């Protein structure tokens, strides 16, 4: 029977998940029957091949040297799961140069060097699968590039970082501190090697760049995506949000209007009865509005060993089918073809219009509220409601304001002036609001 030989580079959380699934006899038996070929893990490379993993790869198939995979002419598909830019980029380009197909979960790499990788893959007539790069176990790449292909997408809203969503959910539900829940997310294998990528919204921006490229047929320059993380969100904000009928989520958003394409990542207040607000813990969801389908929502575990490994496996099987149909390259995925498009301009953040939640920490003195409201008014920002709780605390009392829609540049100017008021004791916090459908 024909064998499809795999070489896995990176035997960490997700890599181990792939080896575990491949050892599941029921799954591998079914795949062999469906493909008419055996999927065989010929070699696994990692800098650490001694730490015990919960699977039983024979020692002679382990190596510390990725070259053994890249230069093995029998290996058909290289699976890159080391993450980061280098040496992942070099390994992937070398694999493609050797005529091998590639599967990767590397969103950081694809969002910055995707075009180079896909151009080379096209030249060599091989495939690059990247289902695992966005949404963990949710088959969102296939949904956009196949399921919704006959549609014109107008908006994509996503909760696409499991770690950040886990942190916000645990803080809100359990009143636990930020650092404590971050440690839990790390222990569960959700967080990036550097968790700042999760917390500061960088990982979300990487994934949003990929979704926007596929959904809007636009090459997106990562540095044009406005990105703000969840590190300034406190238990107080989560409690006020609940009281006001909202939830705070790290939202990825891409939408088109007559003025262009908006692509941004930031903590966002969304109505508590919206579909996305019920997406909690490590779960991710991508809510897409398109011309013919209307809204669709894709939901599932967005991080974690086995959901992400399943996505890797789906690419392996897809590519194996191409290899077996003896049309490598011709079977180039739709995702792959879409990527050959031109760069699109993104609306700068200071041009967006949004309603805002504002939190000020100010001394409890007469005239504070009118000073803040006065500055907002001078910048054409209209207040919808105000809450002040607590009395006389030296460290300042929280003042919460909700505004009507305003221009971002006006809001930033007003916040900078308010932050300079002598009675305002901390940098004001602003959270943009998004009126998502329920
Ligand atoms: N650190 C990522 C997350 C892993 O938490 O979503 C999945 O991409």
Q: Could you tell me if 202 and 221 lie in one domain?
A: yes
Q: Is residue 101 part of a domain?
A: yes
User: What's residue 217's pLDDT?
Assistant: 86
DSSP state of 275: G
DSSP state of 274: S
For residue 64, indicate whether it is catalytic: no
CA 287 to ligand 1 centroid distance, Å: 18
Q: Is residue 343 part of a domain?
A: no
User: What's residue 317's pLDDT?
Assistant: 96
Q: Could you tell me if 217 and 317 lie in one domain?
A: no
Radius of gyration for the alpha carbons in the chain, expressed in angstroms and rounded = 24
Q: Whose CA is nearest to atom 7 of ligand 1?
A: 303
The CATH number of whichever domain residue 399 belongs to comes to 3.30.70.260
Q: With the C-alpha atoms ordered 362, 365, 366, 367, is the resulting torsion angle positive or negative?
A: negative
Pocket test for ligand 1, best of 195, 303, 309 (most atoms within 8 A of CB): 303
* CA gap 193, 385 in Å, rounded: 41
The CATH number of whichever domain residue 232 belongs to comes to 3.30.360.10
Say which residue the tokens 């044009």 belong to: 224
The CATH number of whichever domain residue 31 belongs to comes to 3.40.50.720
Asked whether the beta carbons of 89 and 47 are under 8 A apart, the reply is no
Q: Could you tell me if 324 and 230 lie in one domain?
A: no
CA 120 to ligand 1 centroid distance, Å: 27
Q: Could you tell me if 53 and 25 lie in one domain?
A: yes
CA 148 to ligand 1 centroid distance, Å: 24
User: What's residue 2's pLDDT?
Assistant: 95
User: What's residue 358's pLDDT?
Assistant: 98
Q: Could you tell me if 297 and 148 lie in one domain?
A: yes
Q: How far apart are the first and last CA of the chain?
A: 52
Q: How many domains, the chain? A: 3
Q: Could you tell me if 77 and 210 lie in one domain?
A: no
Q: Could you tell me if 9 and 121 lie in one domain?
A: yes
Determine if ligand 1 sits within 6 Å of the CB of residue 433.
no
Q: Could you tell me if 154 and 213 lie in one domain?
A: yes
Q: Could you tell me if 178 and 62 lie in one domain?
A: no
Question: Could you list the mean pLDDT of each consecutive 10-residue stretch along the chain, which spans 438 residues?
Answer: 97 97 96 96 97 92 98 98 98 97 97 92 93 97 93 96 98 96 96 97 97 89 95 96 97 91 97 97 98 96 96 97 74 59 84 97 92 98 91 80 98 98 96 91
Ligand 1 atom nearest to CA at 308: 7
User: What's residue 261's pLDDT?
Assistant: 93
User: What's residue 96's pLDDT?
Assistant: 97
- Calculate the alpha carbon distances from 336 to 88, 106, 135, 149, 326 in Å: 19, 15, 18, 13, 18
What's the domain range around 402?
Answer: 350-433
Q: Could you tell me if 264 and 312 lie in one domain?
A: no
Q: Is residue 344 part of a domain?
A: no
Q: Could you tell me if 190 and 285 lie in one domain?
A: yes
Q: Is residue 50 part of a domain?
A: yes
CA 381 to ligand 1 centroid distance, Å: 36
User: What's residue 437's pLDDT?
Assistant: 76
Q: Could you tell me if 292 and 144 lie in one domain?
A: yes
């Amino acid at each position: 029977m024909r064998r499809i030989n795999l070489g896995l580079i990176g035997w960490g959380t997700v890599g181990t998940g792939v080896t575990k699934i491949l050892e599941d006899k029921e799954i591998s038996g079914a795949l062999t029957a469906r493909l008419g070929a055996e999927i065989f893990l010929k070699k696994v490379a990692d800098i650490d091949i001694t730490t015990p993993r919960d699977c039983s790869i024979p020692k002679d198939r382990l190596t510390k040297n990725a070259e053994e995979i890249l230069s093995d002419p029998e290996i058909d598909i290289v699976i890159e799961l080391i993450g980061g830019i280098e040496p992942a980029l070099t390994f992937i380009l070398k694999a493609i140069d050797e005529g091998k197909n590639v599967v990767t979960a590397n969103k950081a790499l694809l969002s910055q060097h995707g075009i180079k990788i896909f151009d080379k893959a096209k030249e060599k007539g091989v495939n690059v699968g990247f289902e695992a790069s966005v949404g963990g176990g949710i088959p969102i790449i296939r949904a956009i590039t196949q399921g919704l292909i006959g549609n014109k997408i107008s908006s994509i809203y996503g909760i696409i970082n499991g770690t950040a969503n886990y942190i916000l959910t645990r803080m809100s539900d359990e009143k636990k501190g930020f650092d404590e829940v971050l440690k839990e997310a790390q222990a569960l294998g959700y967080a990036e090697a550097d968790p700042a990528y999760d917390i500061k919204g960088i990982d979300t921006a990487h994934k949003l760049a990929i979704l926007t490229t596929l959904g809007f047929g636009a090459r997106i320059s990562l540095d044009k995506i406005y990105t703000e993380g969840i590190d300034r969100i406190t238990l107080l904000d989560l409690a006020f949000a609940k009281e006001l009928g909202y939830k705070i989520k790290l939202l990825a958003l891409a939408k088109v209007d007559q003025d262009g394409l908006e692509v941004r990542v930031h903590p966002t207040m969304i109505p508590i009865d919206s579909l996305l607000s019920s997406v909690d813990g490590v779960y991710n969801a991508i809510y897409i509005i398109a011309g013919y389908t209307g809204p669709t929502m894709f939901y599932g575990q967005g991080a974690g060993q086995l959901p992400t490994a399943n996505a890797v496996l789906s690419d392996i099987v897809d590519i194996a089918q191409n290899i077996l149909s003896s049309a490598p390259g011709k079977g180039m995925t739709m995702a792959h073809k879409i990527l050959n498009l031109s760069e699109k301009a993104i609306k700068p953040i200071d041009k967006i219009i949004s309603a805002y939640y504002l939190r000020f920490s100010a001394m409890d003195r007469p005239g504070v509220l009118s000073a803040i409201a006065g500055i907002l008014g001078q910048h054409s920002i209209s207040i919808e409601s105000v809450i002040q709780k607590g009395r006389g605390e030296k460290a300042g009392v929280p003042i919460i304001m909700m505004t009507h829609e305003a221009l971002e540049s006006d809001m930033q100017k007003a916040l900078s002036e308010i932050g300079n008021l002598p009675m305002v004791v901390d940098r004001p916090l602003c959270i943009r609001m998004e009126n998502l459908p329920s």
